[in-house]
């Protein structure tokens, strides 16, 4: 009897400890708090940086449009850009920019997507390890080098093919082709990430039904990753529109309203570079025009990003 009481008395402390409620309160470490604060500060800095850029563009652009020499109607409808005589029609710069981007897309998008499909579906580890550094080298080459490549290699090549009387020394065709080569690594990298996000179970199911590797890649993997691929395409288009040094060197330095890719024309970014690096005074109307052009570029790229986000949200497929 006494032994049973002793056993119960020895077991009671363990029973009481088991019945005591566990402390599940989250204890935050000092390191995590510091890291979270730093990340929050970085986000705030990026937001205020964007707000500051938009504020400066809006302020200077409103000052440009507030002058009696410029009106919004003329800015968006006229096809003549000659600040020296008071003509501020933006369309010569816009058409040159769109021509360069339109020429770049057939070069960058098919080659970039094909390279991404090869790296994701076909390439071995050794081949992938060889091609990826080459693409990284292409992405790391300064754009000014691409500009002189367009001027000294691509332009002479086009002149030999189409004739020296047809292709001018400065033209938007060579600039667009080289801009397309420039953004191939961007398209490839983003498309590879989108293709890798597709579950392997879809590929295995296609193989189980007798599909070949090509059929699986084209009919299964690419459609499943279409939202990410489309986002990559939109980012590439934005990159092409914002390219500066290639078009500044190879496309030309005179605003001209033309749709002939073999003629010289000045893009929006090329004009900004030429005016900002010239001898114009800071408060002149010619100098202030670059802020209006920059604001229009910002609106164009913002619109492309909004379209991209809506496209991704609509066609995105979520797999478990």
From CA 67, how far away is CA 291, in angstroms rounded? 14
Contacts of 150-154 with CB under 8 Å at 24 or more apart are: 150/174, 150/175, 150/177, 150/178, 150/246, 150/249, 150/250, 151/249, 151/250, 154/178, 154/250
Q: Which of 312, 317, 264, 295 is nearest to 90 (CA)?
A: 295
Question: Can you give the pLDDT at residue 278?
Answer: 66
Fold category of 74-315 in CATH:
MetI-like fold (1.10.3720)
213's tokens = 């590797």
Which residues lie below 8 Å from residue 228, measured CB to CB, with a gap of 6+? 190, 191, 193, 194, 195, 197, 312
Question: Can you give the pLDDT at residue 102?
Answer: 93
Question: Can you give the pLDDT at residue 171?
Answer: 92
One-character DSSP codes across 242-259: H--HHHHHHT-SS-----
Task: Give the distance, in angstroms, between the CA of residue 10 and the centroid of all CA atoms in the same chain.
Answer: 70
Task: Give the distance, in angstroms, between the CA of residue 275 and the centroid of all CA atoms in the same chain.
Answer: 25
Question: Can you give the pLDDT at residue 1?
Answer: 46
Question: Can you give the pLDDT at residue 26?
Answer: 62
Question: Can you give the pLDDT at residue 285?
Answer: 81
Residues found in the chain:
320
Q: Residue ranges per domain, the chain?
A: 74-315
This prediction has a pTM of 0.82
Q: Which of 310, 252, 268, 224 is nearest to 101 (CA)?
A: 268
Q: What are the pLDDT tens digits along the chain (320 aa)?
A: 444 544 444 545 555 545 555 555 666 678 888 898 999 999 999 999 989 998 988 888 888 887 777 888 888 888 888 877 778 889 999 999 999 999 999 999 999 999 999 988 888 888 888 888 888 888 888 899 999 999 999 999 999 999 888 899 999 999 999 999 999 999 998 899 888 888 888 888 888 888 888 888 888 888 888 888 888 888 899 889 988 889 989 988 888 888 999 999 999 998 888 887 766 677 778 888 888 899 999 998 888 888 878 877 776 665 55
Q: Which sign, positive or negative, has the C-alpha torsion 93, 96, 307, 73? A: positive
Cβ-contact 182, 208 below 8 angstroms: no
Question: Can you give the pLDDT at residue 39?
Answer: 93
């Amino acid at each position: 009897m006494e032994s049973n009481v002793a056993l119960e008395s020895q077991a009671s402390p363990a029973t009481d400890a088991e019945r005591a409620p566990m402390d599940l309160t989250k204890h935050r470490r000092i390191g995590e708090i510091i890291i979270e604060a730093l990340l929050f500060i970085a986000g705030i800095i990026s937001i205020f940086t964007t707000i500051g850029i938009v504020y400066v563009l809006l302020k200077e652009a409103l000052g440009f449009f507030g002058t009696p020499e410029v009106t919004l109607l003329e800015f968006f409808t006229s096809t003549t850009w000659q600040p020296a005589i008071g003509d501020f029609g933006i369309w010569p710069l816009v058409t040159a920019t769109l021509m360069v981007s339109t020429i770049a897309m057939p070069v960058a998008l098919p080659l970039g997507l094909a390279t991404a499909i090869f790296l994701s579906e076909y390439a071995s580890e050794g081949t992938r390890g060889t091609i990826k550094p080459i693409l990284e080298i292409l992405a790391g080459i300064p754009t000014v080098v691409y500009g002189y490549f367009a001027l000294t290699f691509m332009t002479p090549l086009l002149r030999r093919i189409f004739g020296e009387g047809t292709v001018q020394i400065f033209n938007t065709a060579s600039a667009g082709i080289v801009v397309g080569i420039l953004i191939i690594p961007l398209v490839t990298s983003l498309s590879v990430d989108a293709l890798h996000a597709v579950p392997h179970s879809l590929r295995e199911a296609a193989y189980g039904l007798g599909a070949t590797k090509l059929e699986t890649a084209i009919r299964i993997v690419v459609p499943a990753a279409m939202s990410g691929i489309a986002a990559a395409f939109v980012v590439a288009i934005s990159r092409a529109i914002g390219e500066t040094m290639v078009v500044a060197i190879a496309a030309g330095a005179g605003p001209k309203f033309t749709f002939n890719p073999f003629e010289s024309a000045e893009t929006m970014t090329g004009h900004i570079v030429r005016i900002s690096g010239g001898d114009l005074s800071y408060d002149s109307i010619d100098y202030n025009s670059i802020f209006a052009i920059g604001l229009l570029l910002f609106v164009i790229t913002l619109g492309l990003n909004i379209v991209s986000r809506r496209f991704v949200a609509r066609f995105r497929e979520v797999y478990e």
